[in-house]
Amino acid sequence: MNVVLLHSKKFAELVSYKNWSETTVQKSDPHDFGGPRLLADIGGTNARFALETSPHCFEAVQVLACRDYPDLGAAIQAYLKQVSPVLAAGESIRHAGIAIANPVVGDIVSMTNHHWSFSIRDLQHTLQLETLKVVNDFTALAMALPHLSDDEKVQIGGGTAQAGKVIGLIGPGTGLGVSGIIPSGQRWIPLASEGGHVTYSPVDHIETALLERIWRDFPHVSAERLISGMGIELLYRVLSEMAGADVRVALSAAEIAERARLGTCAVALETVNTFCGMLGTVAGNLAMTLGANGGVYIGGGIVPRLGDLFHQSQFRQRFEAKGRFSGFVAQIPTFLITAAYPAFLGVSVILDEALSGQAD
């Protein structure tokens, strides 16, 4: 078993959170950590787990493929079995926090991009937990943003973040996550957004031609349909068809990105450039909608793997291309998140607030 130990910097103060699912909150002495806590970051492809053994110290990080388990409970049980040697004799998990790539409304969670479905209360009972918090994964990631160190993010383009201002978040992965945090005094309030499912609007005749072809199969083309792993695959197929290329062999998003990186496929390179431009448009829309003068952050698993292709792309140009408001958007910085597991930090903050009685 590969065990990873992650340390985040100490917080000057905890931040506040609203809109988590309604489960029983057990208050604890903030000076008594109460044993290891289970943290999870569940996406449509991978489930990431860790044990928080002291404040913001994450051990035994494991990444499990969702397809290998019939449900979330089975994946959690498999993880706990693997990490049992890390626990001291007689030590048990009493509290857990889960960030999941899905809306969390009420007790039943049914994933949009995977077949898992579960009851929060039943899962809490099965795992014999005193406390279980389940939140949207980008809500958790948003809560981590104010606490990322300089070496956990890279600025893309110009602009300067204004302290105490709204921060936006967008991230392509299996789907497209969107969120943000709103300052309220010394607190941050996260947005429970499904902004990835807004309708995508083309910006030029090339994108219009793309959309006209895609509309044959999908009457509603969301931002997520194009700006995600499946979006890269869809864009590649359509651009190949438009170029008269053979598309009988389907390529994965990872294969397309690798061909683009190596420069061995012109259509793959065009696909990645188109993807980055579309991401810039939607990220700019988010900045305008939120007035995100604190910056817009890019998360998710795809962009960090693009490397120089992203840095040299038209992302930032398209981010700023807002007509009369281009000057306004140009002042807003964009940051690529490079931290290994930032969602653990956010869900840790959320769980800690609940246990210390700071939640509303």
Look at residue 22 in the predicted model and tell me its pLDDT: 30
Burial 116-145 (b: 16+ CB within 10 A, else e): bebebeebbeebebbbbbbbbbbbbbbbbb
Look at residue 260 in the predicted model and tell me its pLDDT: 96
Residue 99 included in any domain: yes
Provide the 3-class DSSP secondary structure of residue 50. Answer: strand
Residues 95 and 61 in one domain: yes
- Number of folded domains that form the chain: 2
Residues 167 and 214 in one domain: yes
Residues 55 and 21 in one domain: yes
Token pair listed for 351 = 């769980």
Token pair listed for 300 = 């998710």
- Is 45 annotated as a binding-site member? yes
Look at residue 192 in the predicted model and tell me its pLDDT: 82
Residue 205 included in any domain: yes
Please, which residues have CB within 8 angstroms of residue 349's CB and are 6 or more apart in sequence?
Answer: 11, 14, 15, 17, 143, 144, 147
Residues 136 and 225 in one domain: no
Listing DSSP states for 112-154 in one string gives SSSS-EEEHHHHHHHTT-SEEEEEEHHHHHHHHGGG--GGGEE
pLDDT of 214-246, one tens digit each?
999 999 999 999 999 999 999 999 999 999 887
Distance CA(42)–CA(67), nearest Å, equals 12
- Is 44 annotated as a binding-site member? yes
Residues 193 and 259 in one domain: yes
Residues 298 and 170 in one domain: yes
Residue 1 included in any domain: no
- Residue 325, CB-side half-sphere exposure with 13 Å CA sphere: 10
Residue 268 near residue 259, CB atoms below 8 Å: yes
Residues 170 and 290 in one domain: yes
pLDDT band at 7 (very low <50, low <70, confident <90, very high): very low
Look at residue 16 in the predicted model and tell me its pLDDT: 31
Residue 114 belongs to what domain range? 6-143+341-355
Query: Where is average pLDDT lowest: 73-87, 115-129, 223-237?
Result: 73-87
Residue 339 near residue 333, CB atoms below 8 Å: no
Residue 291 included in any domain: yes
- Is 24 annotated as a binding-site member? no
Residue 91 included in any domain: yes
Q: 59 pLDDT exceeds 70?
A: yes
Residues 253 and 160 in one domain: yes
Residue 288 included in any domain: yes
Long-range CB contacts (within 8 A, 24+) of 113-118 = 113/43, 113/44, 113/174, 113/175, 114/44, 114/45, 114/66, 114/174, 116/42, 116/66, 116/71, 116/72, 117/71, 118/71, 118/72, 118/73
The CATH number that applies at residue 190 is 3.40.367.20
pLDDT band at 248 (very low <50, low <70, confident <90, very high): confident
Look at residue 13 in the predicted model and tell me its pLDDT: 29
Mean of per-residue pLDDT scores for the chain: 88
Residues 321 and 346 in one domain: no
Residues 107 and 13 in one domain: yes
Residues 202 and 172 in one domain: yes
Provide the 3-class DSSP secondary structure of residue 267. Answer: helix
Token pair listed for 22 = 């309604």
Strand pairing class (176-184; 131-136): unpaired
DSSP at 332: S
For the ranges 134-148, 155-169, 241-255, the maximum mean pLDDT occurs at 155-169
The CATH number that applies at residue 44 is 3.30.420.40
Residues 305 and 169 in one domain: yes
Residue 360 included in any domain: no
- Is 40 annotated as a binding-site member? yes
In percent, the amount of the chain with pLDDT more than 90 equals 74
Residue 19 included in any domain: yes
